[in-house]
Chains A and B, each alone.
Chain A
Amino acid sequence: MKLYEYESKIIFKKEGIPIPESYLASTPDEVEKIVENLKKEVAIKAQILATGRGKAGGISFAKNPKEAKQLARKIFSLKIKGFEVRKVLVEERLFPSAELFLGITYDLSQKTPVVISSSLGGIDINEIAKKYPEKVFTLPVNMVWGIQNYQGKLLAKNMGLKSKDMFKAAGIAVKLFNIFKKYDCDLAEINPLILTQDGKLIAADAHLELEQEALYRHKELEQLEIPIRKDSPRIPTKFEIEAEKIDKIDHRGVAGRVVEFDGNLGLLIGGGGASLTIFDAIRYHGGKPANYCEIGGNPTVKKVKELTKLILKKPGIKGLAVITNVLNNTRVDLVARGVILAMNELDIKPSEYPILFRSAGAYEEDGYRILKKYKIKYMDRSYSIDQAAKAAVEMISNLK
């Protein structure tokens, strides 16, 4: 779960990482009032869950309340990477003598947290790593031990800091790791960490991403007024929202993780790696999927039925491919029952509708008996996913 900057800063403040004096506002008028009280030059920063707001005009500096209100109005009217700006953070403006970088994430290859520091902050660290790899210092850290002071010192030294500043930055690194561990973060980043002209080290920006799987054990977020939610890299379509509702009918199995595409072949496909393989195979043979979806973990007949109905009703659908891997857990007969019930409820005759069924594994004999009875042609385990995908694509292109 990605946190907004202001939410990350709530945690920073609680855990003792210095942040600028900052206030949250939802209207230009509120911004004006805050600046009147603050009596300082300010930075106004759009609060969105995407990076690159600076380039998109989401950060402005104002000298007085009137200017602040004007600039805020502009920021509130922006749409950055599809996100509307609903809130801005108004902060005392910092005057940096250096902008630095400090971040923690997982190194999937070494299976351990890794801390990254750099003397070049304020821009995307991936760009820095590409252009000036020698300026990016990485340090794997043991989860049990955390960052020790000597490691903090090493990180700070590689930000180009000396004497007092070095010790301060080391302290911040230790605290940032504590946050990373305590809150089950996927990512904890300060970019930029600013060394001000009057010698303070302050986290100008804050970016935390909490691991979805661990949110259940973070009840403290509620007290910090950080609502738990799901990230969506793009706004879900109506079709996708409907599918998600279907998946929530009950807790058994998955039938409803769906992504909409604009093709003509409806897909009901096996979950996990199989869904990836099947979707690829359909595209490889020139098919145009109307959706990606996953069924797995032995879902109930009802879920399969509702999902099938949703797909069959989608405008532009010309046929349906039900393709799964050789199933370990999900039952072939339950999938078959769901698909046929859906067609029945929609008054579609299974024997006359373009449908391709390829499945095998648990309870395949029962499944095949059902399919036979309703005159649906099926492929068993002697046909590969590849052959099934090809046949499904041909089925659509042969339609008149």
Chain B
Amino acid sequence: MSILIDEKIRVLVQGITGREAALFTKYMLDYSTNVVGGVTPGKGGQTIHGIPVFDCVSDVVKEFGANTSIISVPAAFAKDAALEAIDSNIELIVIFTERIPKKDVVLILDFAEQKGTKVIGPNSLGIISPGKSKVGAIGGPQIETKKSYMIGPVGIASTSGGMTTELANLLTSNEIGQSTCISVGGDPIVGMTFRELLPLFEKDIQTKTIVLFCEPGGTQEEDAARYIIEYSYSKPVIAFIGGRFVDDMPGMRFGHAGVIVQKGKGTAKGKIEAFKRAGILVADTLTQLVDYVKESLS
């Protein structure tokens, strides 16, 4: 088991002819992800790494039954690409593109909600279910992906793509594998947040412990903490918060677009308190994080 993606998904790459998308398409294929087609308007008929390119999403859905899409197009075209995927009944959309204006993101999420489409991102590095498949640039080249990720019981959700791989690698080097790792995206407004992923992890038999990588700014952590209390969440959740120093520098952005403390809101301190109230262990260092994970699994 895993969440969101497994070996059976049929993946479509929107913007496949772009430099980055072409590269991670190859990495996805190397990891034996079932990539069935690509879309770049105007470039239908080409092939990229043997994958056929089409002009419209509906073509790929009709012909190959694509049900998952990774979107890597320039920010100005991202709204259109996402709406097209949602309209074509894609079930899961991962948006890799960053710097999409909030208005567009809100419109995308609004339509997705109407149609029951799951959205990860924007500004997501991707999703990986080790040993099954990966969607997006997560893990990088095949050889590195295999070093960083291994099959096991820990689910990871992270606001940072880089830290998703870092945490997985940390666990892997301690011989603890992962069920599914999700880079939820570093923008202020993203599709599925910790709060929406937690119930999926709870239902997943493979996942025994959930690790969250959090950053200052936004409300994801507080929302997740509230959910855990309200629904008496049954699995252990361990959090790590990067960027505690940001609390001391209000108004300044660090790392991601969403990482900003304004008017005393979104502080790391506030998030730590919210987590602690919900009985979530918050690790002060990565070394401590590994200890907590080991303890939760024993």
Contacts and interface: CB of A to CB of B under 8 A. Distances in A.
A and B, direct touch (CB closer than 8 Å): yes
A272 B245 contact: no
A364 B144 contact: yes
A272 B219 contact: no
B140 interface: yes
A15 interface: no
Given A325-B165, A382-B173, A280 B103 contact: no
Contacts of B284: 284
Contact of B162 (A272, A284, A382): A272
B256 A272 contact: yes
B137 A328 contact: yes
A111 interface: yes
Contacts of A214: 101-103
Question: Max chain A CB contacts within 10 Å: which of B76, B169, B223, B284?
Answer: B169
A296 to B, nearest CB: 7
B67 interface: no
B292 interface: no
Contacts of B229: none
B101 A211 contact: yes
B141 A386 contact: no
A273 B160 contact: yes
Given A325-B163, A385-B286, A271 B139 contact: no
A361 B144 contact: yes
Interface centre among B76, B101, B141, B257 (most CB of A within 10 A): B101
Nearest to B159: A273
A294 interface: yes
Interface in A246-264: 259
Given A144-B110, A184-B103, A276-B259, A326 B148 contact: yes
A325 to B, nearest CB: 4
B169 A381 contact: yes
A360 B173 CA distance: 13
A280 B183 CA distance: 21
B189 interface: yes
Interface stretch (B48-56, B200-208, B246-254): B246-254
Contacts of B140: 327-329, 361-362
Nearest to B147: A381
A186 interface: yes
B102 A274 contact: no
B101 A213 contact: yes
Given A144-B107, A184-B101, A213 B189 contact: no
A109 interface: yes
B255 A272 contact: yes
Interface string B164-178: 011001100100000
A362 B141 contact: yes
Contacts of A143: 103, 106-107, 110
B218 interface: yes
A399 interface: no
A109 B215 CA distance: 15
A273 B215 contact: yes
Nearest to B250: A233
B125 interface: yes
Contact of B189 (A108, A144, A274, A283): A108
A167 interface: no
A326 B165 contact: yes
A271 B255 CA distance: 6
Interface in B101-131: 101-103, 105-107, 109-110, 125
Contact of B165 (A109, A144, A277, A328): A328
A378 to B, nearest CB: 16
Contacts of A387: 287
A143 B189 CA distance: 14
A281 B285 contact: yes
B31 to A, nearest CB: 13
Contacts of A283: 244-245
A23 interface: no
A273 B109 contact: no
B243 A272 contact: no
A101 interface: no
A126 interface: yes
A283 B268 CA distance: 15
A181 interface: yes
B255 A294 contact: yes
Contacts of A181: 103
A275 interface: yes
A92 B239 CA distance: 55
Contact of A361 (B158, B165, B244, B290): B165
B287 A275 contact: no
B102 to A, nearest CB: 6
Most chain B Cβ neighbours within 10 Å, of A111, A113, A283, A385: A111
Contact of B263 (A126, A211, A213, A294): A126
Nearest to A270: B162
A91 to B, nearest CB: 27
Contact of B257 (A213, A274, A281, A385): A213
A142 interface: yes
Given A106-B102, A186-B102, A273 B186 contact: yes
A273 B169 contact: no
Nearest to A298: B20
B251 to A, nearest CB: 4
B100 interface: yes
B170 A384 contact: yes
B106 A112 contact: yes
Most A CB within 10 A of own CB, among B99, B166, B189? B166
A273 B110 contact: no
B188 A106 contact: yes
Contact of A277 (B100, B101, B243): B243
Contacts of A292: 254
Interface of A: 106, 108-109, 111-113, 126, 142-144, 181, 184, 186, 211, 213-214, 216-217, 233-234, 259, 270-277, 279-281, 283-284, 292, 294, 296, 325-329, 360-362, 364, 381-382, 384-387
Interface of B: 75-76, 99-103, 105-107, 109-110, 125, 137-141, 144, 147-148, 158-163, 165-166, 169-170, 173, 186, 188-189, 213, 215-216, 218-219, 222-223, 240, 242-246, 249-252, 254-257, 259, 263, 284-287, 290
